Chain A
Amino acid sequence: MSKRKRIVVICPGRGSYTKEELGYLAKAPSLIGDFLTDLDQRRQADGDPTITELDSAANFKINLHTKGEHASTLIYACSYYDFARLDPQEYETVAITGNSMGWYIALALGGSLGWGEAYSVIQGMGSMMRNQIVGGQIIYPICDENWQIRYEVEQEIGLILEEINSRPDHEAYLSIRLGGYLVLGANGPGLKHLLKSLPPKDHYPFQLINHGAFHTPLMEDISQQAFKHFSPEIFMSPQVPLIDGRGHIWKPWSCISEELYDYTLGHQVIKPYDFSQAITVALKEFGPDHLVLLGPGGSLGGSIGQILVANRWRSITDKSEFQKRQAQAPFLISMGRKEHPL
């Protein structure tokens, strides 16, 4: 067996670039010099602020940095940068997955989309709601303080969603299964009702800023636009197995790229994204030595920890055990966090 460490790479989604990440790319921009230059030129041509400008801005501006048309590509660039930092002599990437928008980054890093095409998809999908965001997302915990998932809470939320959808003009759906959290997507009336109906727990329910109702039927129009806008020909078989938001594995030799295109712009856009299942499949079907969460940030780490707990993976059975292991010999390497430099 290879002596390299087997890793599954995880690409983060929207919301991972926060004010702490400003200057993320400034650490060693030369590592991705051509790539970054290309991105900046494309954005300049589109009349958007360049990634370099955004990343090197003096201040983090919510109205600028978190907007879909900027955040998506900014995160893509940071993840690309982290991926480039992985030493192939030391690490063997056996699969790549991602959360939500991270799926597009996974497609890029896995070789299913070229540089430019990946930018088009990421920027395109991030910009389709440039003028009017469709609905929004709310995040809500379903685990206790020890990270034990309480499935009855998930069932109760299901009933709440059912009730909301029975009201005229209200729509609310499961958007993402995210370890110990559920992300719910809804239209305006649905969001208001959700915020009222979900029992308050710490600072939850919490509405995510500048997020649309991703992965719900409310995105049907966006999906249709995407199919019109992007050609199936830009999708290729990946060079590394990709694990999608259902836990399906797309393998290099057996992937049919038209199906990957259909999934990415269809199912993935309008149906729930099951990040929990994607990570579970990564663990069980690839047996990695490490999970590697690419930056920016590391906010997905908690959800990943909760998924490890749910699977009792490597005897990690609660939050404190996860934290203890992370401090000693981390199974999850979070490249966006300072304590995990590679």
Chain B
Amino acid sequence: MFNRAEIIDQNFSRFVRAAHLPQAQSTTSPEDAGLKPQHFIDLFESQIISRHLDLQARLLKNQHLCYYTIGSSGHEGNAALGKVFRFSDMAFLHYRSCALMIQRAKQLPGSTPIYDNLLSFMASSDDPIAGGRHKVFGSRPLFVPPQTSTIASHLPKAVGAALSIARAKDLKLRDTELPSDSVILCSFGDASVNHSTAVGAINTACLISYQHMNLPLVLICEDNGIGISVPTPGNWVADQYSQRRGLKYFVCDGLNLCDVVAKAKEAESYVRLRRRPVFFHLKIIRLLGHAGSDVESTYKSLRQIESAEFNDPLLHSARTAIKYGFLSPHQVLDLYETLRQQVAAVTKEALARPKLLEPGDVASSLTSCAPPRTSPAPSTSTSLTLFPPPSGRWHLAKLINFALAELLERYPMALVFGEDVAAKGGVYNVTDGLLKRFGPKRVFNSPLDEQSILGTAIGMAHNGFLPIPEVQFLAYVHNAEDQIRGEAATLAFFSQGQFTNPMILRVAGLPYQKGFGGHFHNDNSLAVFRDIPGLIIAVPSNGFDAARMLRALAKEAYERGRVVIFVEPIALYMTKDLHQTGDKLWTFEYPLDPEDEIAPGEFGVFEFSSKQHPDLAIVTYGNGYYLSRQAEKVLRENHGLTIKIIDLRWIAPLNKTKLCEELRGIDGVLIVDECRKTGSLSEGLVALLVEGLNPLPHIKVEAAHDCFITLGVAAAAGLPSQESIVDAALKLKSRSKPNNREGTL
């Protein structure tokens, strides 16, 4: 009773032979769908191959040779979508899309979908998309970026990709990925529509469409009526989406290939011509449970299971083929067995292919493998024509503003978007004037939904754009972090660098903001980003650095496809003075030379006077650097200490070797970290120094308390301050003795 794979396999032959086939649930005929007999059989073959791949996966799982058994059985009607839509219509597919992929591959001669799917099941390093890193449906030549898709986190990017098509045309961009008449496909299950990512993405799609903007997107809901063990209430999906403004709804009988083709053609025609989003509701069934390990009988009766099995879409297709005289029952069975043997033979070959073994090989695809794109040459008139000539000295916000203008000028495919970034110019005026200069196609406001902002960035990047999205406050990242963690950061990894989604995500954050904020506007933890492999994380401490860092980051993103996080310390945006009111020491001239950059990993080193062995070193970044500079003056003038201050600038990648070199021979190292101590960079720095320095210097950490930022006069309570840094430095100095090399923590 439990080996349902064997049962549905046997049922197929048994029921076809006995002419005991399920009743049609819809009346659409091949002729209605414009299908010739060969077209129908072509689709049927894709369905059968998909089924045999599922069956093979189950067999291999039993022998511990397959690592993924979430199959496509019951969903094989989606093959029709692989025929109706072009293979250049980029598709973000969920994990039951095998038949669709097989059919789509037929549009591109030379494709080898059986082999490729098997390599993916078996996690072979030869798998052409993920190289053995995950079972995904993906293919660079077939315009299918790989998705994890389990939590509908691919929907926001599909919206972004759809938005990018008209935008590329409007901006007359060359070197984009997607044809200007293409559309975007995105599939997901009925249970997945309940994820906030799905709800948000569909909402954004409707919002865009509602404003009469182009969004050629087909949201394909493959409704099998159940999410793992939880049934979806009867008409939930249709009730939610059949009447949404701005969203055209199509529904079809996913068990009848002809009905799927007919409705898909209508949907295709609508979305291709009207350029408006479509909700394509494919009613199907699920066979073989959720996955190989899922025993359906624990939550379904045998009768329910058998009833679903009798509605096997392959049996429905067999009925159609026989009814219309395309194939005899004997020929259906012959086709089924021939394809079984073909899949089995390819399985044997695929089993012999190599697996990923070495950690270095696994991690080798964290970033792009493609030959780098070349950045456009800098404009000679950069920034000078954009604003009043940026001569004079400016604070951080203005210098970032100039730098963004420079990037928008240099990179015609760069876009700035986020909440309030357009007419308002951002809540801190960092994007002031950009809308006026570059227009609404390149500088635009987003809905108040961070998932959509990040999804838009990812999707746009799939089409060759260089998105520079803004998340208004660091604390707002958290509700959307998976768009970075699970999506943007993993794309290169799961595609062996064949697909990338470069972006520079600007986030205003970190503490010390006076007169406004509390936790929601002053979050002080970067832990949300720090553990994500492959990210570049930057925190400038001043505008002169920020502009030069942004130049380097634009190259990292554009040329090498990197995902970059640029955290801007809000408290320093408008800061002009360092030591006393009016000294203007925290204002800087704009670095006009467009080649003047600060490369990732390059520190800023401050030494008031060059001394071979300073008394102490301070390692810090962001606000910590600013405060340490204030503290240094006190320590120098009042205590006669020589301090070397290292402004890390880059949280990741951290140049560990160079940091150790900078600190070698110094007796005391003070780490100043404005972030909450637990999970902060200071922890990593201590470990790094302990591992990297011998003899070990005395190390002290001055980091923020493990607490949230409050409002009002206590906003800076528990944070490092000039006074606390001076105090910590003096304590550290008292502990370090020139000949004491054992060190303390």
Q: Which residues does A use to contact B, with CB under 8 Å? A: 1-2, 6, 94, 237, 244, 246-248, 251, 253-256, 274, 277, 280-281, 283-289, 313-315
**B111 smallest CB distance to A (angstroms):** 8
Interface pair B110/A253, CB less than 8 Å apart: no
Contact with A along B680-710 (1 / 0, CB 8 A): 0000000000000000000000000000000
What CA separation (Å) do A280 and B349 show in the bound complex? Answer: 13
**Interface flag for B114 (CB, 8 Å):** yes
B109 interface hit (Cβ, 8 Å): yes
Given that A1-B341, A254-B41 are contacting pairs, would A280 and B112 also be in contact in the complex, using a CB cutoff of 8 Å?
A: yes
Do B38 and A288 touch across chains, with their CB atoms under 8 A apart?
Answer: no
Q: Is B39 an interface residue (CB 8 A)?
A: yes
- Within the complex, what minimum Cβ distance (angstroms) separates B520 from chain A? 54
Interface size on B, residues (CB 8 A): 27
A286 to B112, CA, bound (A): 10
> Closest CB of chain B to A68's CB: distance in Å?
27
The residue that A274 contacts in the complex, of B36, B110, B345, with Cβ under 8 A, is B110
The list of the 6 closest CB pairs from A to B, nearest first, reads: A247-B110, A287-B345, A248-B109, A246-B109, A254-B42, A284-B115
Is the Cβ of A286 less than 8 Å from the Cβ of B109? no
Judged by a CB distance under 8 angstroms, whether B532 is at the interface is no
Task: Collect the chain A residues with CB atoms within 8 Å of residue B36's CB.
Answer: 256
Q: Which of B42, B114, B327, B344 contacts A285 (CB 8 A)?
A: B114
Cβ of B331 < 8 Å from any Cβ of A?
Answer: yes
Does B45 sit at the interface, judged by CB under 8 A?
yes
Q: Given the known A-B contacts A1-B341, A253-B38, A254-B42, are A244 and B348 also in contact in the complex, defined by CB atoms under 8 Å? A: no
Query: Within 8 Å of chain A (Cβ to Cβ): is B346?
Result: yes
A85 to B367 Cα, complex, angstroms:
54
Known A253-B38, A254-B38, A254-B39; contact A287-B112, beta-carbon cutoff 8 A: no
Please state if A248 and B341 are interface contacts (CB–CB under 8 Å).
no
Inter-chain CA distance A6–B338, complex, in Å, is 11
Q: Mark B332-356, 1 if CB is under 8 A from A, else 0.
A: 0001000001101111110010000
Q: What are 24 A-B contacts with C-beta separation under 8 Å?
A: A1-B344, A246-B109, A246-B110, A248-B110, A253-B38, A253-B45, A253-B335, A254-B39, A256-B36, A256-B38, A280-B110, A281-B112, A284-B116, A284-B346, A285-B114, A285-B342, A286-B342, A286-B345, A286-B346, A287-B115, A287-B342, A289-B345, A313-B349, A314-B349
Q: Which residues of B contact A1 (CB under 8 A)?
A: 341, 344-345
Q: In angstroms, how far is the closest chain B Cβ from the Cβ of A230?
A: 21
Chain A min CB distance to B484 (Å): 35
Contact between chains at B112 and A284 (CB < 8 Å): yes
- Please, which residues of chain A bring their CB within 8 A of the CB of B115? 284-285, 287
The residues of B that contact A256 with a CB separation of less than 8 Å are: 36, 38-39
Choose among A2, A244, A256, A287 the residue with the greatest number of B CB atoms under 10 Å from its CB.
Answer: A287
| CA A287 to CA B111, docked complex, whole Å | 15
CB neighbours (8 Å) of B112 from chain A are 280-281, 284-285
Roughly how many angstroms separate A283 CA and B115 CA in the complex, as a whole number? 9
What residues on A are CB-neighbors of B344 within 8 Å? 1
Cβ–Cβ < 8 Å partners of B345 in chain A:
1, 6, 94, 286-289
Kindly state the separation between the CA atoms of A30 and B41 in the bound complex, as whole angstroms.
39
Spell out B's residues near A (CB within 8 Å).
36, 38-39, 41-42, 45, 109-116, 326-327, 331, 335, 341-342, 344-349, 352
Partner of A287, one of B38, B331, B347: B347
Whether A283 touches B349, Cβ cut-off 8 Å, given contacts A246-B109, A247-B109, A274-B110, is yes
When distances are taken between beta carbons in the complex, the residues of chain B under 8 Å from A274 are 110
Docked-complex contact B45 and A254, CB < 8 angstroms = yes
Q: In the assembled complex, which residues on chain A have CB atoms less than 8 Å from the CB atom of B114?
A: 284-285
Q: Which of A256, A280, A285, A315 has the most CB of B within 10 A?
A: A285
Q: What B residues does A237 contact at CB under 8 A?
A: 38
Interface residue from A254, A281, A283 paired with B110 (Cβ < 8 Å): A281
Q: Are A287 and B346 in contact (CB under 8 A)?
A: yes
Contact B342 A277 (CB under 8 A): no
Query: Quick check: B352 and A314 within 8 Å, CB to CB?
Result: yes
What's the least CB distance linking B451 to chain A, in Å? 39
Contacts of A247 in B (CB 8 A): 109-111
Set of chain A residues within 8 Å of B335, measured between Cβ atoms = 253
In the complex the two chains form, is A315's CB within 8 Å of B352's CB?
Answer: yes
CB nearest to B339 among chain A residues: A251
Chain B nearest CB from A316 CB (Å) reads 12
Q: CA–CA, A237 to B37, complex, Å?
A: 12
B38 engages A285 (CB within 8 Å): no
Complex Cα distance, B42 from A285, in Å, reads: 16
CB-based nearest A residue for B354: A312
Q: Measured between C-beta atoms, what is the minimum distance from A311 to chain B in Å?
A: 9
**What's the minimum C-beta distance from B701 to chain A, rounded to whole angstroms?**
52
Q: Are A285 and B346 in contact (CB under 8 A)?
A: yes
A2 to B335, CA, bound (A): 14
CB-CB under 8 A from A280, the residues of chain B are 110, 112
A241 to B115, CA, bound (A): 17
- Shortest A269–chain B CB gap in Å is 16
Residues from chain B with a CB closer than 8 A to the CB of A284 are 112, 114-116, 346, 349
Taking CB atoms, residues of chain B closer than 8 Å to A277 are 109-110
Please indicate the chain A residues that have their CB under 8 angstroms from the CB of B41 in the complex.
Answer: 253-254
- Closest residue of A by beta carbon distance from B107: A248
In the bound assembly, the distance between CA atoms of A148 and B114 in angstroms comes to 26
Closest Cβ of chain A to B55, distance in Å, is 13
Residue of A nearest to B340 (CB): A1
Given A284-B115, A285-B114, A287-B348, A2-B341 contact (CB < 8 Å): yes
Residues of A within 8 A of B331 (CB): 253
Task: Specify which chain B residues have a CB less than 8 angstroms from the CB of A315 in the assembled complex.
Answer: 352
Enumerate chain B residues within 8 angstroms of A285, measured Cβ to Cβ: 112-115, 342, 346
Q: Smallest CB–CB gap between B323 and chain A, Å?
A: 16
A287, B116: Cα distance in complex, Å: 12
For the complex formed, measure the closest distance between the CB of B236 and the CB atoms of chain A, giving whole angstroms. Answer: 37
- Within 8 Å CB of A244, what residues of B? 109
Chain A residues, CB < 8 A from B341:
1-2, 6
* Chain B residues within 8 Å of A248, by CB: 109-110
Name the B residues within 8 Å of A286 (CB-CB).
342, 345-346
Cβ of B320 to closest chain A Cβ, rounded Å: 14
Q: Given A244-B109, A277-B110, A280-B110, answer yes or no on A287-B349 (Cβ-Cβ < 8 Å).
A: yes
Contacts of A288 in B (CB 8 A): 345
**A201 CB → nearest B CB, Å:** 27
- How many whole Å from A212's CB to the nearest CB in chain B? 24
Asked if residues A253 and B346 are in contact (CB atoms below 8 Å), the reply is: no
| Complex-state Cα separation, A94 to B340, whole angstroms | 13
**Considering the chains assembled together, what is the distance between the CA atoms of A284 and B105 in angstroms?**
14
User: Are A251 and B110 interface neighbours, CB within 8 A?
Assistant: no
In the complex, chain A residues whose CB is within 8 Å of the CB of B111: 247
Please report the C-alpha to C-alpha distance between residue A314 and residue B346 in the assembled complex, in whole angstroms: 12
Q: With the chains together, A1 CA to B342 CA distance in Å? A: 10
The distance from the CB of A281 to the nearest CB of chain B, in whole angstroms, is: 6
CB distance from B112 to the nearest CB of A (A): 4
Chain A CB within 10 Å — which of B109, B344, B346 has the most?
A: B109
In the complex, the answer to whether B342 meets A255 with C-beta atoms within 8 Å is no
